Structure formats: C-alpha cells, structure tokens
Amino acid sequence: MSAADRPVLVVDFGAQYAQLIARRVREAHVYSEIVPHTITAAELAARDPAGIILSGGPKSVHVDGAPGLDTDVWDLELPVLGICYGAQLVARDLGGEVSRTGKGEYGRTDLEVLAPGVLFSGGQPTHQQVWMSHFDSITTAPTGFTVTASTTDVPVAAMEHVGRRIHAVQFHPEVVHTPHGQAVLEQFLYDVCGCAPTWTMGSVIDQQVAAVRAQVGTGRVICALSGGVDSAVAAALVHKAIGPQLTCVFVDTGLMRQGEGDQVVETFQRHQGIELIQVHAAERYFERLAGITEPEDKRKTIGELFIRIFEETSGGIEDARFLVQGTLYPDVIESGTSEAARIKSHHNVGGLPEDMQFELVEPLRLLFKDEVRAVGTELGLPDEIVWRQPFPGPGLGVRIIGEVTPERVAILQRADAIVREEVRAAGLERDIWQAFAVLPDIRSVGVMGDERTYAYPIIIRAVTSEDAMTADWARLPYDLLERMSSRIINEVQGVNRVAYDITSKPPGTIEWE
C-alpha cells in the first residue's frame, strides 16, 4: 500500500486539541485517526501509518507520571511531527534539552522563521503569528536537528531532522489563531509523509458502501432512524450499499421536537423510497421513565427500550440481525476510550444493553459532524435533513431536567420550536451549531396579569462549534433574545421566566444532561 492510501495517526497525550488535529489532517484530504499514547511500537507498525503526529498535552515532560511514547517508535523510521508537548517529547527522547525557563508563552506569539526547511517552505512569510500554550521550552535541539524557527523567549520554536523525517513545532498549527498552520501541516503530510489529497467524501462513500456490503452480505438490516442528521445519513448510505435489504424503523418516542416525526416519515418514505416502519411508542416511554431523574439512568433507560422495540419490530423482518446506527467519532470519544475519560454515555454508544441481539453497523463511526453533512449532501439528501441541528439520541428526555412527563415534554416542545423559529427567521441557522430550549426541574415566582404565578423557567442554549468537541456560547443579538423570551412567556402555558446559558464547552457540555 502506498503512503497516499495509508492513514496519518494522531497520538493523543491528553490534549484538548487532539481531535482538532485529526480534523485538520482530514481537511487536507488525508485520512486520520486518533490513537492513545499507550500504543506500542508494534501496534503502531501494524497500523502501517504514512506518518504520526504527536499531540500537545496538559502536563510537563518533567513531572512523574507524564505520558510518554514507546521509545521503540523512534526505530520505526516513520515520519513524525511533534506539536507542543509532542515537540518536547521529541527533544527529550532524542537527546535534546527541555527546560523550565520561567518564561512560558500563551496565546498569540510572533514567530521568526530562521530557515524554511520543509515545514515553512512554499512561500510562507519569515515572520508570522502563531498560537502558543506552554511553560516548558526546548532550549537545545537534539544532535542532527536544524532549528528552523524561534520566538523572543524560545530559541527552539521549530526543528527538523530531514534525514530521519522528524519535525517538531512548539506552537499549535491546528488552531485558527495560527494563520499559516494549515500550510505547515500540509507540508508535513504531502512532502514528508508522501500523502496524496485523495480522502474525499466521495471516497468515504465508496469505502463504506464496500464495507457495509462485506459486513452484512445478503442479510436483512434495520436502521434506528431517529430523525436526526446522523441516523438519516447513515440510513441513506446503507441504502446505497444494500438497497431493499434495509428497512428503517422510526420509533416515535414522544420525545421528538415539534413536528419532527411527520417530517421524518415524509422524507424517507415518500422521497427516498426507503421502506419505513413507524412505531408509536410514546406511552411506553413515559411509563418506563416515570420516577427516573438521574441523567445516566434516563439515557440508559431510553437506549434499552429503543433496542427492545427494535427487537420486537425485527420479528416481522426475516433474518434481521444487523442494526444501523448513526454513531459519530465525537460520540465514541466522549463515551470513553483509552485516551478520553467518559463524559457521558451517548445513546448511540453507552446506552445499549449488553444482551442486545443485533450486530451493529456504524458507517459514520469515524466521521465528524461536518463530514457527515458533506456525505449527506453527496448522497442527495435534502438540506432540511442535512442541515438540521444536532439532536441527542434520547431526544428531549435529556433536555428536561428531572422526571420526564407528557406535560413537561409538551411545554418544552413548544418553547424549543419558538427558539428554532426565531433563529431561522434571523438568518442565523447555519451560523449556530445548536440552539434549543431546556426545561429545568424548578419553578419560580412571577407576575402575569396582576396575578402571582408559580411556573417553570425556560433556559435557552445556543452555541457555535466546528465539531462539538469544543463549543462557545453564541452571542445572539439582544433583540432576538427579547423576541424569544416574549414569545415563550406569552405562548407557552406554564412558563413565566426565560434565561440564557452563557457557558462554553469546556467547562460545560452542550447538552444539559
């Protein structure tokens, strides 16, 4: 296999930007995956990567227990790019010096290119702005390395050993605050690793079509169609692969957004020509969720019932033993892997019962959300499906804090519809990653029509993001917030107060539960 067809692996040392590095590599049309820093040299060699990128990390290379790399990796003769902490590991492991100079660099920093070398060739300016986030610094490069860039406080801001194809940069080329960062990454990918920009959404579709056909053969497949972007694209992709072998099952849990169930049926049954079974299960969900208030318990209850309903439904579909789910790469990372602690159990990952009778088909498991949208467009799905805002698998069940009841769902559905209607009317729908309403488990005193009220507040949550791994609260115009608040209080019975959540991720998550 040529380097053009092999992956570039991002070794994760606990960096908040590890996923972003992988995304930037993919934006260069080179396939990339994240692997834990505990991976051995043998395991790495077995993956046959075109190159590896060592991510940043929150620790110092000098502290006890700091994550390291199997030193046998250096004997594999693979192209290596170390970033921040990864650059310091390169220096430390290969005989250079990493020191605590007492002068860290955080934020925008001016970089001077001393020698173009490989990473800064191609017409990049000799003085450029980069984003730094470090306290330790490389003060002496290992023998055989050339220092290619420095800053006022850091003598070795970039270095390379052309013969060994090992490169290191103290700054973060993956963030937008480093304007020429993508060019640096592409120099490494194309000129050092020998990769070709062949990983496109068209190639993803071709690869997954072949993978699905190989996995299921002539078997019958059902798809857990939730109404969200992920399951919709997964269904369309699997349908392209196996056609009539696929039956989609849409379980109307009663926890959908207002009017969403009808739109799902309309799109897939009438326009996509996919066999669709609709199961009305709201009553069963409300019965099962009665008295449950803990977020993880709700997620697992919703996930387990989902599977049980599918198992019942598949009884009418001969030999159905495969289940399609729209699991994405961030779902896998956030649900807990060897390199990421569990943040929450995603419905598509952690909420499945151990005794499930289906074999999972997850054609989107290694894709980020923007890539999923691109695949959906390539497959011909309508914009109203492809550009629908992300919606959690458990639906409104995790946007209602506390017990889920029909009354509370009805309140939230109407409030949420108003939020989305106003965002759309303001022309901000594609500028905002998600905008929705949350119903907390409290009531507050108010005055309406000269009478005292004791009703629910509604919390509006709106964020901007690229891939949901990190997010910032959206700076919505005050007049838009005022319209939302006024309409919700006037049109939604049982609500007398509206608040706006201005928490970013981290420290919060996008969803409240």
Quick: pLDDT tens for 236-266.
Answer: 999 999 999 998 888 889 999 998 888 777 7
Say how far residue 42 (Cα) sits from the centre of its chain. 29
Name the least confident of 193-202, 352-361, 438-447, 485-494: 352-361
**Among 172, 122, 120, which Cα is nearest to 146's?**
120
pLDDT at 102: 59
pLDDT at 105: 64
Q: Is 193 one of the catalytic residues?
A: no
**Among 43, 38, 47, which Cα is nearest to 5's?**
47
pLDDT at 316: 60
Alpha helices in 65-159 (DSSP H): 85-93
User: Model-level pTM greater than 0.75?
Assistant: no
Who has greater pLDDT, 475 or 350? 475
Q: Is 174 one of the catalytic residues?
A: yes
pLDDT at 353: 57
pLDDT at 344: 40
Task: Report, as an integer, the average pLDDT of 459-466.
Answer: 93
Strands 495-500 and 320-324: unpaired
Q: Which residues, in sequence order, are bridge partners of residue 177? A: none
Q: Is the pLDDT of residue 345 over 70?
A: no
Predicted confidence (pLDDT) per residue in 470-485, tens digit = 789 999 999 999 999 9
Query: pLDDT-derived band of residue 314, with 50, 70 and 90 as boundaries?
Result: low
Query: pLDDT-derived band of residue 336, with 50, 70 and 90 as boundaries?
Result: very low
pLDDT at 168: 96
Out of 37, 84, 334, 513, pick the active-site residue.
84
Query: pLDDT-derived band of residue 342, with 50, 70 and 90 as boundaries?
Result: very low
Q: Is 195 one of the catalytic residues?
A: no
Amino acid identity of 258? Q
**Among 382, 472, 385, which Cα is nearest to 431's?**
472
Who has greater pLDDT, 235 or 315? 235
Classify 151 as helix, strand or coil. Answer: coil
pLDDT at 310: 73
The dihedral through the CA atoms of 128, 131, 135, 136 has a sign that is negative
Sorted by where each starts, the structural domains of the chain and their CATH numbers stand as 3-192 (3.40.50.880), 201-386 (3.40.50.620), 399-500 (3.30.300.10)
Out of 37, 134, 167, 172, pick the active-site residue.
172
pLDDT at 312: 81
Task: Report, as an integer, the average pLDDT of 434-446.
Answer: 94
Secondary element (H or E) of residue 250: strand 246-252
Predicted confidence (pLDDT) per residue in 261-299, tens digit = 887 777 776 666 788 888 899 999 999 999 999 999 999
For residue 488, what are the contacts with CB-CB under 8 A and spacing of at least 6?
Answer: 415, 418, 419, 437, 458, 495, 498
Predicted confidence (pLDDT) per residue in 200-243, tens digit = 999 999 999 999 999 999 998 988 777 778 888 999 999 999 99
Name the least confident of 30-34, 178-182, 504-508: 504-508
Out of 105, 174, 186, 511, pick the active-site residue.
174
Largest CA distance in the chain: 81
pLDDT at 416: 97
Predicted confidence (pLDDT) per residue in 367-403, tens digit = 988 899 999 999 988 888 888 888 887 889 999 999 9
Contact present, 8 and 189 (Cβ < 8 Å): yes
Phi, psi of 320 (to 5 degrees): -75, 110
Name the least confident of 64-68, 219-223, 496-500: 64-68
Q: Is the pLDDT of residue 318 over 90?
A: no
Summary mean pLDDT of the chain: 87
Who has greater pLDDT, 506 or 200? 200
In the chain, what percentage of residues exceed pLDDT 70?
Answer: 91
Enter the tokens of residue 140: 């002496």
pLDDT at 2: 58
Distance CA 305, CA 288 (A): 8
Task: Report, as an integer, the average pLDDT of 190-199.
Answer: 95
